[in-house]
């Protein structure tokens, strides 16, 4: 009887060959940490809607969804048309454009807390700028963040994240206060004792889009209340949740208005891009005031070669206009709900302990432990999840799902787009059953 690894190696000979060269060129052979897969990652040639194909001709239902950037699926015809037209007009005009205005209008229409904004090239840049704006506006240095919440790989946002890193100066780390999520008394205690805090930032549906959950929306409302009370800014990192968990993001869905919002992924319609927006007064820390002394001492400067690049602008505007005018989010949500139900049914049928949960179109699966959560916000804490979803389990699930024709995000996530149909969802549920059988046969579950 062949193992998951045997099948994986046998199905992907060309990817194995490419990985041999890649290991000589890229650290760990990959270009993004989460693309690292043991025994080797796959090489994808092209994608369309919910599907993608690898160099060995295998077809996959894709749930990486461009690391969450694609709610319209791959190569949406309107995005293709918009980008193709823009390429012939210029990829960098080195000037202001009509396209950036259209893009900003589309964001403001969906997210009313965004009175003013600036464009950047990624989520990492968006949180970096949000921190700097908060510090400049309040005149304070420290930022409170929550354990395991991910805010990109900049020196500040990476502190206390699920991706620990070397190479961050101690002085920078000391400006970040890392708290456990969900304990408002602890947050208030810190804000009341330390008068040097500029902002509190969080992923509003939990670390890594819904892990290590907390009471939503209660905790978000409590955070809004205590930050306002102590004159501290509230930053929502809506890089993943923005334009996904509702057309206006988590802030619309849960009715909490942050002072600043970091955006990326969907905001740029599948191209590189990000934005930071919010209160006009705060974002205007970037504005020139015409007072050389003030500008030199207090202004936040903001260059950036690819800010508001016109390709991202047209892709982003096209995507957000579709979200505003069509039931894109509802469609992705309803397919995700069908997926969650299907995964839970398979676990029950096969008597494998575990469950699937998730908010909106962001679905997770946990093997080894069930809980009595409502299947949206899970009640298991991160330590319990990590203990049961050990690397051996996530690796096996990732490879077994690939063997069965499905690419999941990391080792336990499914990011659903509006192009996933009943057919792909049902195929995925079947693939999950096959994967569990293979894992059982390998003695992993």
In the complex, which residues of this chain contact ligand PMP (CB under 6 A)?
67, 122-124, 127, 150-152, 203, 237, 239-240, 264
Q: Smallest distance, Å, CB 194 to ligand PMP?
A: 24
By beta-carbon proximity to ligand PMP, the closer residue of 37 and 404 is 37
22, 35 contact by CB (below 8 A):
no
Q: Smallest distance, Å, CB 123 to ligand PMP?
A: 2
By beta-carbon proximity to ligand PMP, the closer residue of 74 and 338 is 74
Q: Smallest distance, Å, CB 329 to ligand PMP?
A: 18
CA dist 443 and 392 (Å) reads 11
Query: What contacts 434, CB < 8 A, 6 or more positions away?
Result: 400, 403, 404
Q: Smallest distance, Å, CB 272 to ligand PMP?
A: 8
By beta-carbon proximity to ligand PMP, the closer residue of 276 and 346 is 276
Query: How many residues make up the chain in this entry?
Result: 445
Task: Tell me how far CA of residue 197 lies from CA of 134, 145, 174, 378, 382, in angstroms.
Answer: 9, 11, 12, 30, 26
By beta-carbon proximity to ligand PMP, the closer residue of 202 and 347 is 202
Q: Smallest distance, Å, CB 108 to ligand PMP?
A: 21
Q: Smallest distance, Å, CB 65 to ligand PMP?
A: 12
By beta-carbon proximity to ligand PMP, the closer residue of 122 and 227 is 122
CA dist 119 and 309 (Å) reads 9
Q: Considering only CA atoms, which of 86, 74, 3 is closest in space to residue 311?
A: 86
By beta-carbon proximity to ligand PMP, the closer residue of 123 and 269 is 123
- CB-side exposure of 314: number of CA atoms within 13 Å? 20
By beta-carbon proximity to ligand PMP, the closer residue of 67 and 215 is 67
Q: Which residue's Cβ has the minimum distance to ligand PMP?
A: 123
Q: Smallest distance, Å, CB 150 to ligand PMP?
A: 5
Own/partner contacts of 81-86, CB < 8 Å, gap of 24 or more, are: 82/269, 82/314, 82/315, 82/317, 82/318, 83/271, 83/311, 83/314, 83/315, 85/314, 86/310, 86/311, 86/313, 86/314
């Amino acid at each position: 009887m062949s193992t998951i690894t045997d099948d994986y190696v046998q199905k992907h000979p060309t990817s194995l060959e490419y990985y041999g060269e890649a290991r000589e060129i890229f650290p760990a052979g990959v270009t993004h940490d989460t693309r690292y897969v043991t025994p080797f990652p796959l090489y994808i040639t092209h994608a369309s809607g919910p599907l993608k194909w690898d160099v060995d001709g295998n077809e996959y239902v894709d749930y990486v969804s461009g690391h969450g950037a694609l709610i319209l699926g791959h190569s949406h015809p309107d995005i293709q048309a918009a980008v193709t037209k823009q390429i012939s007009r210029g990829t960098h005009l080195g000037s202001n454009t009509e396209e950036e205005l259209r893009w900003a209008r589309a964001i403001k229409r969906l997210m009313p807390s965004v009175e003013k904004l600036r464009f950047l090239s990624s989520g990492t840049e968006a949180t970096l700028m949000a921190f700097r704006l908060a510090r400049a506006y309040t005149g304070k240095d420290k930022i409170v963040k929550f354990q395991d919440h991910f805010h990109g790989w900049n020196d500040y946002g990476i502190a206390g994240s699920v991706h620990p890193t070397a190479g961050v100066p101690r002085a920078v780390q000391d400006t970040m206060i890392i708290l456990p999520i969900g304990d408002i008394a602890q947050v208030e205690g810190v804000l009341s004792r330390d008068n040097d805090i500029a902002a509190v930032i969080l992923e509003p549906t939990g670390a890594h889009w819904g892990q290590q959950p907390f009471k939503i929306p209660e905790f978000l409302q409590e955070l809004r209340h205590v930050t306002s009370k102590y004159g501290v800014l509230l930053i929502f990192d809506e890089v993943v949740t923005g334009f996904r968990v509702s057309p206006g993001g988590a802030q619309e869905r849960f009715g909490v208005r942050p002072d600043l919002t970091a955006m990326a992924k969907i905001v740029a319609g599948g191209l590189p891009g990000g934005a930071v927006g919010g209160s006009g007064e705060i974002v205007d820390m970037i504005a020139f005031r015409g007072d050389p002394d003030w500008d030199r001492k207090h202004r936040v400067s903001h260059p950036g070669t690819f800010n508001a690049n016109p390709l991202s602008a047209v892709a982003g505007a096209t995507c957000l206009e579709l979200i505003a005018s069509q039931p894109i989010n509802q469609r992705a949500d309803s397919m995700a709900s069908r997926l969650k139900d299907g995964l839970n049914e398979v676990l029950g049928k096969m008597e494998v302990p575990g469950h699937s949960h998730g908010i909106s179109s962001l679905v997770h699966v946990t093997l080894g432990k069930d809980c009595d959560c409502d299947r949206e916000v899970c009640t298991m804490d991160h330590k319990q999840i990590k203990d049961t979803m050990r690397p051996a389990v996530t690796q096996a699930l990732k490879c077994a799902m690939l063997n069965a024709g499905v690419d999941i995000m990391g080792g336990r996530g499914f990011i659903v787009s509006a192009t996933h149909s009943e057919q792909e969802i049902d195929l995925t549920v079947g693939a999950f059953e096959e994967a569990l059988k293979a894992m059982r046969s390998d003695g992993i579950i």
